Chain A
């Protein structure tokens, strides 16, 4: 990026909003830890795929929106660049012997952007608000997932929100009571649903409390500008308890729907970060080796068999499912279709998940030629061949990238196994409805973890899971997951669960996600090792060019 382009851009961007950004610009010239020379203009500009669903912590449900909310608000705990738990508003917490009561100690200097102190009452209010049916939060279930006492009753309307198992012992002490021990409970307090919200402001302004002129927040940044469909700007919050250590003054999110346009604008120097469109990683990493970045993320891409009564008879045979899974050449999909940067998947849970060690499965060990050979054997054993060809329908939602993968998969099956597939694409909501009603043979699926623990993926295949669209059911598998909920060491249990999946093959894992970004080399400290990609603007800085 040329300096001129950047200066022009900055001039354009700041022509309408000029607030106190200049005050901090002279505070630091070199980074206190790394000693790198800091850029004079500490503004980070990145692309958002779509407008945010909300800026209300208890209501926001999309990834882009959560990124903004994480800058504006601060919860009990935060994540560092590696995804480890570090203190947020809470300086720490204690757990009772039965692992059912968590007591968080809040820092005394935590302030709202209007100068008022952040207290335990603010958390009590926010958590009740999240569970309260009247808030109509799409993340109400998160309170249930956190096993908070009384959450289910509050959500179903059988109890008042004030019966929720949270209380303020004093302004600096917040206590949570759980129904069952949850090893990853503290990790869940980094989720936006649990962030504190200002009761008086919400009561005064109603739904419009998140507008820049109304909003009061407690994070390192405050919302200074929001133009729907265009841009979201947040700037340093002078009241933030750790404002002194914040280097970045300003973060600008530009909403650009088209990824190719976003890439063009990145190359023109308007953005510091954007996603790399499918198929372009290889080219861009050759052309811009310092900027094209790929790192593992907590998401998977798979196809699920319909194992319910409405599903095809053929899929009831695990050999058929295994044969189909084996014959998919994932290397071709990740390298030739996706254009590099994405890891192929032989397990349902991504390797990058903390505390997960993938089993050594037959499929992962074999070469593709061996897999193809084995697939032919298995399919023949199941009774399908030239005189009795296997035929089924395959559905995915309308999208160029999904279509390419579906076509490649069906071709692989046809050439290697003589299997006939009928592809059909559907508009997103129609697709979800069709898949949810088990009106399919084989359907595309993808899942991103809600927290960094294997159960966020493995729960999907639990018999009772509401997300189990393939209706896979194995009591041994369910028992393992149940055991894992309270186990000291979950790693072997999750490995065993994956072994069952490899044996039963209710889904065909295709690849795991990678964050494939163009990231300007003058952006310091982007948390590439945080697999959840929970990033905080206050940890970033701009290096002088």
Chain B
């Protein structure tokens, strides 16, 4: 298992490297640059600025310098657009915010989704099942960019209960709406997967055996059915975890949280090459790690899997 983990981590390095190179060239292929603006800069001013940021160098040299600075100084360079800040600043400030509400949303979505799914499956075709299924579908049909404005309208304008946005160091009243907005649609899909998985498991031979043995339902569900039920859920949760972090752009946009999602999207639009690459590397590394953790988790959920 340790060997397997090490091997996976080793493979991750060239993966991320390839990702950066691809992102780097695609970025430079896109028309315009960080200093293209409504009022074009005079050529000599443009030359000064390009020189300052090393953009006058050939692309391979820029890429090389970029890697060199990361490896040697752990410096991801300056932001080309937010000129007072470096990429390290942008990530250090935005990532903890994204991680906080992302992890909370993930937790909320998983717990509520799994409970809904199990409740529906164990009371198959009853009113519990129907209401859980309709609740799940409704939640899934509400993406966060719809939820955001609706939540603000209801909780801030109509009820006057919660601040309409901001972060304020992550105080709870600022966290509620972002977490609800982000978690809702995942609750739906997690509930659906859990429900169908559990229904399948409950019909399998070993559960029938357990029933025949005379075990009570509670024991069957918790001790025997739970682990195999969660297997497909876990494989879905890995990508979801990355999504809640990367897909948080709407949360940042509507709730002014100052998270990384907004920086990611705006860096692409403003061609802030350094910020875009920095966040791409971060998300790439995160994806690799989460995938590895998911794979390792399989072994715990299913003893048949060995590494």
Contacts and interface: CB of A to CB of B under 8 A. Distances in A.
Query: A and B from one assembly?
Result: yes
A229 B164 contact: no
Interface string B265-303: 010011100000000000000000000000000000000
Interface stretch (A116-124, A251-259, A301-309, A472-480): A251-259
Interface string B56-90: 00000000000000000000001001111110011
B307 to A, nearest CB: 41
A156 B44 contact: yes
A229 B256 contact: yes
B160 A268 contact: yes
A468 B30 CA distance: 24
Contacts, number: 157
Interface string A447-481: 10000000000000000001100000000000000
B86 A207 contact: yes
A24 interface: no
Given A230-B256, A264-B152, A9 B163 contact: yes
Contact of A136 (B52, B90, B169): B52
A15 B82 contact: no
Interface in A1-43: 4-5, 8-9, 12, 15-16
Contacts of B37: 61, 138, 432
Contacts of B89: 208
A429 B45 contact: no
Taking residues whose C-beta sits less than 8 angstroms from the other chain, chain A's interface range is 35 or more
B90 A228 contact: yes
B78 A254 contact: no
Given A9-B163, A434-B31, A59 B48 contact: no
Contacts of B243: none
B305 interface: no
A91 to B, nearest CB: 32
B63 to A, nearest CB: 21
A229 B269 contact: no
B263 interface: yes
A92 interface: no
Given A229-B94, A230-B256, A436 B163 contact: no
B45 A264 contact: no
B49 interface: yes
A136 B48 CA distance: 6
B157 A258 contact: no
B38 A228 contact: no
A235 to B, nearest CB: 17
Interface string B14-46: 000000000000000011110111111110110
A467 B303 CA distance: 68
Interface string B243-270: 0000000001110111100110010011
B166 interface: yes
B149 interface: yes
A140 interface: yes
A56 B84 contact: yes
B153 interface: yes
A53 B49 CA distance: 15
Contacts of A138: 35, 37, 41, 45, 49
Given A53-B82, A228-B85, A230-B167, A265 B152 contact: yes
A258 B254 contact: yes
Contact of A16 (B82, B160, B169, B259): B169
A268 B51 CA distance: 47
A428 interface: yes
B178 interface: no
Interface in A217-267: 227-231, 254-258, 260-261, 264-265, 267
Contact of B94 (A12, A228, A432): A228
Given A16-B168, A254-B166, A428-B269, A228 B82 contact: yes
Contacts of A264: 149, 152-153, 156-157, 164
B164 A54 contact: no
A56 B83 CA distance: 9
Contacts of B33: 429
A388 B92 CA distance: 62
A207 B167 contact: no
Interface string A44-62: 0000001111111001010
Contacts of A133: 48, 51-52
A389 interface: no
Contacts of B83: 53-54, 56, 59, 207
A347 to B, nearest CB: 21
A256 B256 contact: yes
A155 B40 CA distance: 16
B32 A429 contact: yes
A499 interface: no
B85 A140 contact: no
Given A55-B84, A436-B40, A270 B164 contact: yes
A147 to B, nearest CB: 14
B38 A261 contact: no
B101 to A, nearest CB: 13
A211 B82 CA distance: 13
Interface of B: 30-33, 35-42, 44-45, 48-49, 51-53, 78, 81-86, 89-90, 93-94, 148-149, 152-153, 156-157, 160, 163-169, 171, 173, 252-254, 256-259, 262-263, 266, 269-271
Given A5-B160, A231-B166, A260-B149, 15 more contacts: A15-B168, A54-B84, A59-B84, A133-B52, A138-B37, A208-B84, A228-B94, A230-B257, A264-B164, A268-B156, A270-B164, A429-B33, A432-B38, A434-B31, A446-B38
9 contacts: A9-B163, A155-B44, A207-B78, A208-B89, A257-B253, A261-B152, A261-B165, A264-B164, A429-B36
